[in-house]
Chain A
């Protein structure tokens, strides 16, 4: 016979690996789940499979080229990444963007939020086994993508921002088609809200699963709709309004239960709120130009930008040294903050609930980048801290290539 059957048994529990390739994940990540029967006893997460060295690549490109590089960190939150970068660079250069451009930026950002949440609705219901809701919500997502295609020219990666403004204008014909599309969407969203809160079998998979109390959410540092579903009132658009959010107000959506059903409800209600906000912007779009001329060399300095991506708080640190290339750009995406809550909530639940809990935080793995140091000679792997990386870099550039 061949090798004896060996399972990784430690105290009678065994390990189910989810990832790096798994049908539950849209992007690679590694979750190692110890199960005892069907109950999860331990969970361990390891990321970094989608690391592409973007922050380093940004140092070789000039300010205009970096805009498009950073837009491609993520496919569905591309506009908010480029908006955050533009806000930071414009702050460093001391430029004020015209109000019409700010309003159009916010309009595209809210359309992107609707797009992202509809995509998430489909994916999360697919993970729970409800394929019909997946197909229907993605069919309705085509409406948003058609609106964005008519407005900006592309269905994802809209490239609507320029340093100093936006590229595209909205005329009245387009505004009418946007309003029509939004009317259709609002009707469908109300229908989905009804289904998510009343379908008996779907509620069996989502009510009471992955419950996170308010205290836990604050301690684990959850952000975005995941935190708002646990009654933590954090929304950058309201606490620290940026761009046109100072004129167009957003109301906060909170739920108290903290389980998966609450996360569904929060995201659908946020979509309805975005529809209302877009209609308001279309009704009172300020007049003005679309773009300000920007200089090619940005003044030296450092700045910090916080915006509300569809998944939570997105944080940018931009440092300039007066040349036409950025010196350092640091991106901290919201999924990293929510990841620790997945690991904590998975313990004690059933194996079948782990993919749904993971989908509940709306993970965007291509946004997470961390690097792993692999030592060829000792074949050990460990995670480097910033200090160790700095020391290694100093040794390397001093000629010590060991």
Chain B
């Protein structure tokens, strides 16, 4: 039975640097597999919509303008996303990826949180339709 069993550890801490990470002045590197914001590569997309069906938070909406011509628009709600990466694995063609470099997603207005993916003309078409 010792009084003060942590003595050596506590006293030697006087001479060590604190382990606190001084975010945001110092940032550590994030690992490659970190699940940040979603990104969509339209090349291989067939418009099947499994990603939208499997999302647990209904954060993805697949809007099909023309299936034969492969004109799709993806609406992604960043504020609903739980960053689970199920859509990445549900997609059979590898169109989706979660970026490890974009994870500081705080914003001051709501508009930042709805992201539209697709050709610019398609996106404008969809927005004009819904207006």
The chain A residues found within 8 Å of chain B, CB to CB, are 61-62, 64-69, 71-72, 132-133, 136, 139, 142, 149-154, 157, 159, 162, 167-168, 191, 194-195, 198-203, 291
Contact = CB atoms under 8 A, between A and B. Distances in A.
Which residue among B6, B19, B55 has the maximum number of chain A CB atoms within 10 Å of its CB? B6
A273 B69 CA distance: 58
Interface string B107-126: 00000000000000000000
A132 B6 contact: yes
Contacts of A71: 84
Contact of B6 (A133, A153, A157): A133
A164 to B, nearest CB: 10
Contacts of B55: 65
Interface residues of B, number: 28
B53 A198 contact: no
Given A139-B19, A200-B2, A200-B3, A64 B31 contact: no
B10 A132 contact: yes
B34 A162 contact: no
A383 to B, nearest CB: 31
A136 B12 CA distance: 13
A199 B89 contact: no
B94 to A, nearest CB: 14
B46 interface: no
B1 interface: yes
Contacts of A198: 1-2, 5
27 contacts: A64-B86, A64-B90, A65-B54, A65-B55, A68-B56, A68-B57, A68-B82, A68-B84, A132-B6, A132-B10, A136-B9, A139-B19, A142-B19, A149-B34, A150-B31, A153-B31, A153-B35, A154-B34, A157-B84, A159-B84, A159-B85, A159-B86, A191-B9, A199-B3, A199-B5, A200-B2, A201-B3
A152 B98 CA distance: 12
Interface in B32-86: 33-35, 53-57, 82-86
Given A132-B10, A153-B33, A167-B89, A203 B1 contact: yes
Contacts of B35: 153-154, 159
Given A68-B57, A150-B31, A151-B33, 4 more contacts: A68-B86, A71-B84, A153-B31, A154-B35
A200 B1 contact: yes
B4 interface: yes
Contacts, number: 75
Contact of A153 (B9, B85, B86, B90): B85
Interface string B2-23: 1111100110000000010000
A149 B86 contact: no
B49 to A, nearest CB: 13
Contacts of B3: 199-201
A150 B28 CA distance: 13
B41 to A, nearest CB: 19
Contacts of A133: 6
Contacts of B5: 194-195, 198-200, 202
Contacts of B57: 68
Contacts of B89: 162, 167, 291
Contacts of A150: 31, 33
A317 B14 CA distance: 53
Given A150-B31, A150-B33, A199 B6 contact: yes
A132 B6 CA distance: 9
Nearest to B4: A199
B55 to A, nearest CB: 7
Nearest to A136: B9
